[in-house]
Structure 1
């Protein structure tokens, strides 16, 4: 088993210039993560008009 590495150009294209002809299995590793804000429900109470009010706290989550 051998390993060859390539770096993409600005269009995401890549080549393996030193690879000999044949059939190969290609494996890619992508470093990726994502995050966003959401409103987490923290409770409820009564407002000055006699109605209910829900309270939320803005939080950030990150997935990897």
Structure 2
């Protein structure tokens, strides 16, 4: 619930190449934010209720 209060969400990722590992940061768009919050609420592959709940949390901030 606290994560939904933020103004922005970022996805930090790691990319492993042959002999090099790099990291990156991506600012999430609105629907990506919904998915990220829903996954925090219910785990990987969230259902419709988790997605709806995430939308409500983001709208309430």
Q: Which has the greater radius of gyration?
A: 1
Greater helix share, structure number: 2
Same fold per TM (> 0.5)? Answer: no
Normalization by structure 2: what TM-score? 0.26
Greater strand share, structure number: 1
